[in-house]
Amino acid sequence: MRFIARFCKEKSEYFEIITIYDEHNEKEEISKEHPSIKTITIKNPAGIWFERKMHDDFGIIFEDAFDNRPLVHQERFPKDIHPLRKEFTQTKIEETPYLPYKYEEIDGDGVFQVAVGPIHAGIIEPGHFQFSQAGENMLHLEVRHFYTHKGIEKMLEGKRLEDAKPIVERISGNESIAYQICYRDIYLQATKQELPLSLQKRHALLLEIERTIHHLTDVGFIPNDAGFGSALSFASKLGEEARRKMKEVTGHRFGFGAVSFENSFIDIVAFNEWLNDLDKDIDFFEDWIMDIPSLWDRFDTTGILSLKQAVKYASVGVVARASGVKIDRRENPFYLKHGFSMANEESGDVGARFKVRLKELKNSIEMMRHFLEEDETVLEVAEICDGEYQSFCESSIGELFMSIDIKDGVIERFFARDPSFMNWQAVHIMMQKDIIADFPLINKSCDLSYAGNDL
């Protein structure tokens, strides 16, 4: 039974704790006066971030949890304020005196601490990495994020479902289409409609363009972080062409507003020409990179996440599939009929994650050829019904989960679990026994989102 997510809903008389597994959901009611419940982290260690977040957001106490530190609240955030409670309506809070965050550290002779972040060079968002080092060897890493907490869950409360879409699709720029598809499926459930096949194919096409853009970026950056910048130059050119193709098809480089219920014109001849050129370029790129022994000296056996560890920490996406975990939300009749083939490796290292991305790039090209068609289907807007709705989508990073409750025609509770929220929790395992110079390489091989991780 695979753990997927854990979150809280506030009801009028009690809190409801929902735990999502791949086979079933569990709901537990707890008192508002004494909000306390047993931790699930003894069996599901990846549940710890969910529980720490619920404590910050709602004030829930998790009995026997191995980590009770704040997650979303930073050092000056008031302890007695829990912003996802319905009673919280403030637009501004007063900071409290600075309370140092206690990092997990290894002590001993010759062991020292290295702090990286939260501000980084370049354009990435803030994130902190705290290393315990013995010389160059990484003994332990703690990942700490949530520096740009956007308050999206609270922001969407009280909005109509259609008014929430521009916000939902901008949660994470490298997963905009995936978030839109999760939103789409909830909209369809709430209106009791089925999506015509032609629109299914159009939306799947957009999702594979998005996957192609980000896998191309990754297969360039991974060799770059091993000192081979030429790979980044070549792959960046291909990634930019894919980004321009996204704009050509949708009107926006990130595909904002693209997943709609109305098909628009697409130049199938030009699109197929782009796919044919991309196919040849990826074959060339693969032959080129695979024939550079010095790169594979860096890739192989670096940043290993074993199958057992990947399962233990409920990893998803490329990170999981590179460790032998065979999970992909696209493994369903629709995708299988249109050419889907799951990509897997077993070694769980940087090299395996690189190879999985190359395989998925090739498979995305094959599927996009199947998804291309000219059609003018329109699905009429229908009335939205109150209820509790959930959806999944396989983003370029991995399994995305979304839950939306609608009450009196507006959003009562919005919750999304980005794949990065799972995979960030496993990154520290990959660092053990490697040197600190390999940290950027290992980190990039996972390609995790900061924005999607921090709602």
pLDDT in tens, 397-424: 999 999 999 999 999 999 999 999 999 9
Averaged pLDDT for residues 309-334: 97
End-to-end CA distance of the chain: 27
pLDDT of residue 432: 86
Structural domains in the chain plus CATH codes: 1-102 (no CATH), 105-148 (no CATH), 159-446 (1.10.645.10)
Averaged pLDDT for residues 88-98: 91
- The yes-or-no verdict on residue 378 having pLDDT over 90 is no
Averaged pLDDT for residues 172-198: 96
pLDDT of residue 76: 94
Look up residue 2 and give its two tokens.
């695979």
* 3-class SS of residue 164: helix
Strands (E), 74-222: 111-116, 128-134, 137-144
Provide the percentage of residues in the chain whose pLDDT is more than 70. Answer: 100
- Tens digits of per-residue pLDDT, 265-277? 899 999 999 999 9
- The yes-or-no verdict on residue 332 having pLDDT over 90 is yes
- The yes-or-no verdict on residue 123 having pLDDT over 80 is no
- The yes-or-no verdict on residue 376 having pLDDT over 80 is no
* 3-class SS of residue 351: helix
Residue pair 188/176 in contact (Cβ under 8 Å)? The answer is no
Cα torsion for 307, 291, 212, 148, to the nearest 10°? Answer: 60
pLDDT of residue 382: 87
Q: Classify residue 240 as left (phi > 0), alpha (psi -120 to 50) or beta.
A: alpha
pLDDT of residue 373: 87
pLDDT of residue 366: 97
Q: Which of 422, 292, 420, 426 is nearest to 354 (CA)?
A: 292
User: What is the spatial distance between Cα 455 and Cα 453, in angstroms, rounded to a whole number?
Assistant: 6
- The yes-or-no verdict on residue 23 having pLDDT over 80 is yes
Sheet of strand 387-394: strand arrangement: 387-394, 399-407, 410-417
Other CB atoms closer than 10 Å to residue 333's CB: what's the count?
8
- Tens digits of per-residue pLDDT, 238-259? 999 999 999 999 999 999 999 9
pTM of the shown model = 0.96
Other CB atoms closer than 10 Å to residue 204's CB: what's the count?
21
Q: How far are the Cα atoms of 2, 26, 270, 295, 306 from residue 13, in angstroms, in the given order?
A: 31, 19, 58, 59, 44
Quick one: pLDDT band at residue 125, thresholds 50, 70, 90? confident
Averaged pLDDT for residues 27-43: 95
Averaged pLDDT for residues 191-196: 95
Averaged pLDDT for residues 208-219: 97
pLDDT of residue 265: 87
Q: Which of 226, 294, 219, 214 is nearest to 441 (CA)?
A: 226
Tell me what percent of the chain is helix, strand and coil, each rounded to the nearest 5.
40, 15, 40
Give 171-182 as a 3 state SS string.
Answer: CCHHHHHHHHHH
pLDDT of residue 117: 87
- The yes-or-no verdict on residue 374 having pLDDT over 90 is no
pLDDT of residue 5: 98
How many Cα atoms sit within 13 Å of 153 on the Cβ side? 28
Averaged pLDDT for residues 387-396: 98
- Average pLDDT value over all residues in the chain: 95
Beta bridge partners of 31: 14
- Tens digits of per-residue pLDDT, 155-166? 999 999 999 999
Averaged pLDDT for residues 280-294: 97
pLDDT of residue 263: 87
pLDDT of residue 433: 85
DSSP class of residue 378 equals B
